[in-house]
């Protein structure tokens, strides 16, 4: 099977699961808090940890890892990959790198969302004249 097919199929499945679970959780919570996103991100973190544990013990083939971890969980949430990478850095004693990754990703992510939002408004309003 083509690696790209495994990624595409897994990504499609993960995306559908993310939509369904997030919508269900948001309806159940009934408030302004993004419960669906939190549930998806935390659930994805737990699942990638479980899959990683199986893979480390040789219980998953490389194709299964690609399909499940990169495809399904990549479509479900990239937060799971982010948390796994930080866990790996911490486990390996790379505390400064883990802290830098967490701080830069979160702070720069917020700054870039703001910049993108303002940039889109600027472009839609005709930019500089």
pLDDT in tens, 19-54: 999 999 989 988 777 888 889 989 999 998 888 888
Residue 127 CB-density burial (10 A; 0-12 exposed, 13-18 middle, 19+ buried): exposed
Q: What's the whole-number average pLDDT of the chain?
A: 89
- Which CA distances in Å does 68 have to 2, 4, 94, 121? 15, 13, 27, 38
Local confidence band at 128 (pLDDT 50, 70, 90 cut-offs): low
Give the separation between CA 84 and CA 61, rounded to whole angstroms: 19
- Cut 0.85: pTM above it: no
């Amino acid at each position: 099977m083509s690696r790209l097919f495994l990624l595409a199929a897994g990504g499609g499945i993960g995306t559908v699961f993310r939509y369904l679970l997030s919508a269900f959780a948001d309806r159940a919570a009934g408030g302004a808090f993004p419960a669906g996103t939190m549930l998806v991100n935390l659930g994805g973190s737990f699942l990638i940890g479980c899959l990683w544990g199986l893979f480390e013990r040789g219980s998953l083939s490389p194709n299964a890892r690609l399909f499940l971890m990169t495809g399904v969980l990549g479509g479900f949430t990239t937060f799971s990959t982010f948390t796994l990478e930080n866990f790996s850095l911490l486990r390996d004693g790379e505390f400064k790198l883990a802290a830098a990754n967490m701080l830069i990703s979160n702070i720069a992510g917020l700054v870039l969302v703001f910049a993108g939002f303002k940039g889109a408004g600027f472009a839609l309003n005709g930019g500089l004249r």
